[in-house]
Amino acid sequence: MEDSSRIILQTQVNHLREVIDTNAVFHKREHELINISMEEFKRTLDYRLAAMNQFREQINEERREYMRKHEYEHYQEVIAGRVGKLEKTQWIIAAGISSIMMIIQTLVHYIK
């Protein structure tokens, strides 16, 4: 009986060693896969961060091209003032030309 108990015990010990060895192999592989997934995650994160930085730079570049509201309003006032002056000048010139034409026509009429 003692031999059969020893054989059974030895068989169970051998089986436990195989289970432990198998678990050790799978545990090592699990760590390898975790490292691989972490590297892939880092690459993906770096790519996304680079895209975000590029987008941020694009927005900042566009902001430099835009005019501030108070600057826009100031330039609109300046342009409106200049257009007003040009309109007044245009009317003065038109009135002057009309007056000169009337004088010329009057002179031509009396000179004949």
Residue-range domain boundaries for the chain: 1-66, 69-112
pLDDT in the model for residue 92: 92
Average predicted confidence (pLDDT) for the chain: 91
pLDDT in the model for residue 64: 82
> Which pTM does this prediction carry?
0.46
Buried b (16+ CB within 10 A) or exposed e, 52-77: eeeeeeeeeeeeeeeeeeeeeeeeee
Owner of token pair 């000179």: 111
Q: Which amino acid is at 36?
A: I
Question: Torsions phi, psi of 67, nearest 5?
Answer: -100, 140
> 65-75 pLDDT, tens per residue?
887 888 889 99
pLDDT in the model for residue 62: 87
